[in-house]
Structure 1
Amino acid sequence: MPWLKKLVGAIVILGGVGAVAGWAGSAPVRLDRETLAKLGPGDAARGKRIFYAGGCTSCHAKPGSQGDARLQLVGGLELKTPFGTFVPPNISQDAKDGIGAWSVEDLANAMLKGVSPSGRHFYPAFPYASYARMNPADIGDLYAFLKTLPAVAGKAPANSLGFPFNIRRGIGLWKLLYLSDQPVVPFPAGTPDPVMAGRYLVEGPGHCGECHTPRDLAGGTKKNVWLAGAVAAEGSGVVPNITSGEGGIGDCSEPDIVNYLATGFTPDSYSV
């Protein structure tokens, strides 16, 4: 039947067009020259603050290490999630196994765009969906501080992911939906500087929303319930609500929150 052949032909053509569009739309995107120019010369002292605000050792320190050994950023921690097991890599200054050969532009593209020096997508288990909101100058400072840390040889094990999550190119489509440098919580002009600074730490380098916000089926954070608590991405348990609403931390004083962040104990003396 001629009409059936035409229909099949049209479906094949549309499918081909869709495949080409999807392939083009999923391509890694690097930072533009204007953004790279904002990286600045880098200041290691300021970068140290960003390093600890970002909790880099939580994922990249050798599992079980203590004290100064936590600055040996050899990676290897296994993050077991519904999508598979992700293993944070070696980000020490080792030129072969770590990121010692990276330029500051390489680090900026990794953190703000989720793109590796070789042009591949990083998986968003690396929380660049939050880091994308960071000021480029802070990335330059972080780079300067990382350069002061030791080089440690040794490759971390590879991720263990099943199909289709092992196809990195598909992350490009995920980024179209979830990667943005815009703040999550809007504030009007004239908002006090401490509030704006706090938003920056929470939404950017601190990446609090990565654990404290529920996720949809594709693994993206649900912005309409930002920081409202979530099922733990790995293991079991629930990550608490840290909003000011009911069930959150609205009744906590500033000293309570400072003490919790410093010690891990809530105002009721529970360890979280």
Structure 2
Amino acid sequence: MASGDAGRGERIFWAGGCTSCHARPKAEGDARLELAGGLQLKTPFGTFTAPNISSHPEDGIGSWSVDDFANAMLRGVSPEGRHYYPSFPYTSYTRMEPQDVADLFAFMKTLPAVEGKTDGHELSFPYNLRRGIGLWKLAYMRQEPIISLPDNAPEAVRRGRYLVEVPGHCGECHTPRLFTGGPRLDQWLAGGRALEGEGTVPNITPHEDGLADWSETDIAYYLESGFTPDFDSVGGAMVAVQQNMAQLPDEDRQAIAAYLKAVPARANGYKRANGEQ
């Protein structure tokens, strides 16, 4: 793995939304760069706790090599060779450009070292057994883009596809899931039930249930400012995501918007033919 550039890595850091899960819950300002972990994600499979990924050598990942980091991001494997649970969205990260991985690692090494390990996951049987994760990976990790684009697709749409599908991992929340926890790719970005079991995650395809009435400019402005075309403001878990997106250069937000208007329009992923689930 090549050495990384921290300046370029900061851009990937914000695109990947690392602070959304790995900063302390409700952290604000510079505290969002203290990647102490602790956020709990309660799902039907159990409760997953985001770990400390600060540069602390014992409690975080400060002792990792760039190859250790690449194995975690691209393969979902720890330095000890154990499978990570896919609450860590390596199914999206697996297609990251190796240089982006190296750059991200270089930037993260510049962030504060924070003491303190987080609690472990609390999972019921059989989800507490990691042996099956290898088979799950074979089923759901892929190297091909989710959405195929024509050869003459604009470069902005191609850049947006990479940002949304890979580091941005937008589909991890905005795509409905099978009972196995794998994504329903035929309903890509169509929204779904929140993993926590309450509420829904919105449809962000260009369907009338989603962003049909939003222009590319509307989407890009929302990612920058947090305001919708109707002058409503971002809420819920999306607050942290929007704060990350606001740190990106404008061309990245424009690229994301171009891609979201180019994906297939789908009806809400949390609706059945006879109504909501």
| Greater mean deviation of Cα atoms: 255-264 or 110-119 | 255-264
Alpha-carbon RMSD across the aligned residues, in angstroms, is 1.1
Deviation at 1:165, TM superposition (A): 0.2
- Structure 1's consecutive aligned runs of 4 or more residues displaced over 4 angstroms after TM superposition are none
Tell me the TM-score normalised to structure 2 length: 0.82
Q: Secondary structure at the match of 2:47?
A: strand
Alignment of 1:72 onto 2:31: no
Identity %: 63
Aligned equivalents of 1:144, 1:63: Cα separation in 2: 24
Give the 5 Å matches for 1:1-272: 39-271=1-233, 272=235
Q: Secondary structure at the match of 1:80?
A: strand
Q: Which runs of 5+ in 2 are unaligned?
A: 236-277
Cα shift readout 1:146-171 (whole Å, capped 9, x = no counterpart): 11101011001110001000001111
Deviation at 1:49, TM superposition (A): 0.3
Q: Which runs of 5+ in 1 are unaligned?
A: 1-38
Cα shift readout 1:165-195 (whole Å, capped 9, x = no counterpart): 0001111110010011210001122321111
Matched length = 234
- Larger Cα Rg: Structure 1 or Structure 2? 1
Aligned equivalents of 1:240, 1:65: Cα separation in 2: 24
Aligned equivalents of 2:65, 2:228: Cα separation in 1: 41
Which of the pair is proportionally richer in helix? 1
Residue 270 of structure 2 corresponds to none
Aligned equivalents of 1:55, 1:253: Cα separation in 2: 24
Cα shift readout 1:241-265 (whole Å, capped 9, x = no counterpart): 1111231113211221122112333
Q: Secondary structure at the match of 1:79?
A: strand
Q: Secondary structure at the match of 2:96?
A: coil
Aligned equivalents of 1:55, 1:97: Cα separation in 2: 21
Aligned equivalents of 2:220, 2:26: Cα separation in 1: 25
Letter in 2 for 1:118: E
Cα shift readout 1:176-215 (whole Å, capped 9, x = no counterpart): 1001121000112232111100000000000000000000
Letter in 1 for 2:107: F
Letter in 1 for 2:164: V
